[in-house]
């Protein structure tokens, strides 16, 4: 069994495997994600719903300044959990990848390709000396060529595709809630209601949805939705 001093030796390098095959810095980055406020994504035939709990630490803080939902391009959006600054860097990677595809080929990047590009960038930081893994996870939702898709990236650089997913604090309980109530035939409005219910159950402060941000990606593109409105209503 490894002693504490031995373990600390492997903690110092983000690209050094421990004798039992673990990368401790990646595991710590996953813990950083779990300490962040939660985000959920739900895929429907009509599009993808992204929702995030915006944790407001002071009544003096403007809730809209807490960015958890990001537009990548007209066909994609991202919900994040974990370190906000790390998430912004990854969103910039996604935006550049979307722009390059549009400029080179005159068409939108597919959601799978976009997620792969971001995941490749994340993975590089798990095997490079002098760098640390990103302490953020993303839910990437897209609607391209009439098809809605939803992916998750984690600090290891591994992408997963989901029908419905949760990241951040309380993600295990949120995922159970989604498993119990998700319906493949639900529409966007039902998915918005499910996302709000899941996040409200997780945080009592959000029972009225006041600090829950919602965005939709469908055939009309990416747009935010005011709490209390349906998917047909655009936010200012």
Give the number of other Cβ atoms within 10 Å of residue 31's Cβ: 11
The number of helices, as runs of H, and strands, as runs of E, in the chain is: 6, 10
pLDDT of residue 231: 64
Residues spanned by the domain of 199 = 42-225
The answer to whether residue 92 sits within a structural domain is yes
| Mean per-residue pLDDT over the chain, rounded | 87
The answer to whether residue 29 sits within a structural domain is no
The answer to whether residue 176 sits within a structural domain is yes
pLDDT tens-place string over residues 160-214: 999 999 999 999 999 999 999 999 999 999 999 999 999 987 655 444 444 899 9
**Is the separation of the CB atoms in 222 and 215 below 8 Å?**
yes
Q: Percentage of the chain with pLDDT > 70?
A: 86
pLDDT of residue 16: 75
85-100: average pLDDT: 97
Q: What angle do CA 59, 64, 67 make, to 5 degrees?
A: 115
pLDDT of residue 190: 97
Q: Is pLDDT of 1 > 60?
A: no
85-95: average pLDDT: 97
The two tokens of residue 128 are 């490079």
Longest dimension (CA), the chain: 59
**Is the separation of the CB atoms in 24 and 157 below 8 Å?**
no
**C-alpha distance from residue 213 to each of 31, 110, 186, 227 (Å):** 23, 25, 20, 7
124-141: average pLDDT: 90
DSSP letters spanning 10-75? HHT-TT---TTS--HHHHHHHHHHHTSPPEEEEE-SSEEEEEEE----STTS-GGGS--EEEEETT
pLDDT of residue 40: 98
CATH of the domain at 128: 3.60.20.10
pLDDT of residue 118: 98
pLDDT tens-place string over residues 215-235: 999 999 999 998 655 665 443
* Count of domains forming the chain: 1
Q: How far apart are the C-alpha atoms of 196 and 190, rounded to whole Å?
A: 10
The answer to whether residue 86 sits within a structural domain is yes
The answer to whether residue 65 sits within a structural domain is yes
The answer to whether residue 178 sits within a structural domain is yes
Q: Order of strands, edge to edge, in the sheet holding 221-225?
A: 164-167, 39-43, 47-53, 212-218, 221-225
The answer to whether residue 35 sits within a structural domain is no
Q: What confidence category does residue 51 fall into, taking pLDDT thresholds of 50, 70 and 90?
A: very high
The answer to whether residue 97 sits within a structural domain is yes
């Amino acid at each position: 069994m490894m002693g504490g001093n031995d373990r600390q030796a492997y903690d110092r390098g983000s690209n050094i495997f421990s004798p039992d095959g673990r990368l401790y810095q990646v595991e710590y980055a996953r813990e950083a994600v779990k300490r962040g406020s939660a985000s959920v994504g739900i895929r429907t035939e009509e599009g993808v719903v992204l929702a995030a709990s915006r944790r407001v630490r002071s009544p003096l803080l403007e809730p809209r300044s807490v960015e958890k939902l990001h537009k990548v391009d007209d066909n994609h959006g991202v919900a994040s959990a974990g370190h906000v600054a790390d998430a912004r860097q990854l969103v910039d990677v996604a935006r550049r990848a979307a722009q390059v595809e549009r400029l080179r080929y005159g068409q939108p990047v597919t959601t799978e390709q976009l997620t792969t590009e971001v995941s490749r960038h994340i993975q590089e930081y798990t095997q490079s000396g002098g760098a640390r893994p990103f302490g953020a996870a993303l839910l990437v939702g897209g609607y391209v060529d009439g098809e809605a898709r939803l992916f998750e990236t984690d600090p290891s650089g591994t992408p997963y595709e989901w029908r419905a997913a949760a990241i951040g604090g309380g993600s295990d309980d949120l995922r159970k809630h989604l498993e119990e109530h998700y319906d493949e035939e639900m529409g966007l409005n039902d998915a918005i209601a499910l996302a709000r219910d899941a996040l409200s159950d997780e945080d009592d402060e959000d029972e009225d949805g006041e600090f829950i941000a919602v965005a939709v990606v469908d055939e009309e593109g990416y747009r935010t939705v005011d709490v209390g409105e349906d998917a047909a209503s655009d936010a200012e």
